[in-house]
Amino acid sequence: MAPVEDDEYADEKPTTSASISVDGTNEKAIDITTQFIYERLSPKIATNLVFIGLLTLPEKMPLAFAQSYTPISAAGTEGQKHHLARIMATQFTSAGVGPGIEQTKKEHQEQYFARQQARKDGAVIPPTPAHVAADLAPNSEPLRTQAASQFAVPQMPVTKLKGKIQFNLIASVKDLSDDEARKLMNQAFERIMQNEKRAIQGGEGTAHQVILVRLVTRFASVTINEFEKALRNFILADQRSRTEIAQLWIAELYAQYQGYRERFPFADSA
């Protein structure tokens, strides 16, 4: 009898399905994993698992869990231990891990290779289920690669890289108008005055006062009159706590009148 070609068994061709399906129907894998867990479920391991689980517990019991929760009356007995191992084995098997999955997969592989060898020898064997063949065929990936290589790969269009544009500060900025410059200067001065409390809290209250006085007296700008008016209103708003600013202002004006304007106010008394 002539050998039966593999092409006659379309359901044995590699598919994209996952490994052996274990969605609750593979009882043999669950039984193997259950026995594996049961033999190793000692009080020490159970205690460690509880400690690890405590880190992920929410502060409040979930509503769905609270409705179905019932205290375990026979905790620690062999029956409860076996029941717990069964639950864990079911979850492991559903996730595709555990000794039961490994052993079942190994048995299916042996059966698959035996069927393939028998088929090559000329035996007529019913097709292997597709969900088993998909995971066990060792040459599934090479076959898929060979089939894909028969098709022409579309070439990506080559795009020309745009040249880098050098940043030019002079070309990117523009001069401010007189009104815009005046507005920004007044806003900056107002912001400095508003930071009085922060300067005092940081231990730089005197430096804050010196900056305000020198901005008003040492810079002959178009906003000097507005600075003087703003500082005067600032002092009058709280005369008791801002007396030092007024004194520094007077001392600076006196120093300028005497001709030694660059001298730091009250330097001799420090």
One-letter amino acid at 99 equals: P
User: Residue 267 has what pLDDT?
Assistant: 37
User: Residue 7 has what pLDDT?
Assistant: 43
User: CB 9: neighbour CB atoms within 10 A?
Assistant: 17
Q: What whole-number distance in Å separates Cα of residue 204 and Cα of residue 197?
A: 10
> What separation in angstroms does the CA of 76 have from each of 17, 47, 80?
41, 12, 6
User: CB 92: neighbour CB atoms within 10 A?
Assistant: 21
Classify residue 197 by burial, with Cβ atoms within 10 Å: 0-12, 13-18, 19+.
Answer: exposed
Per the document, the length of the chain is: 270
Low-confidence ranges of the chain (pLDDT < 70): 1-25, 122-158, 160, 260-270
> What separation in angstroms does the CA of 120 have from each of 3, 111, 181, 209?
6, 14, 91, 98
Which pTM does this prediction carry? 0.36
User: Residue 5 has what pLDDT?
Assistant: 44
Measured in whole angstroms, how far is the alpha carbon of residue 110 from the centre of its chain?
A: 44
User: Residue 208 has what pLDDT?
Assistant: 92
User: What residue spans define the domains of the chain?
Assistant: 22-63+77-136, 178-258
**% residues pLDDT > 90 (the chain):** 10
Token pair 């810079």: residue: 219
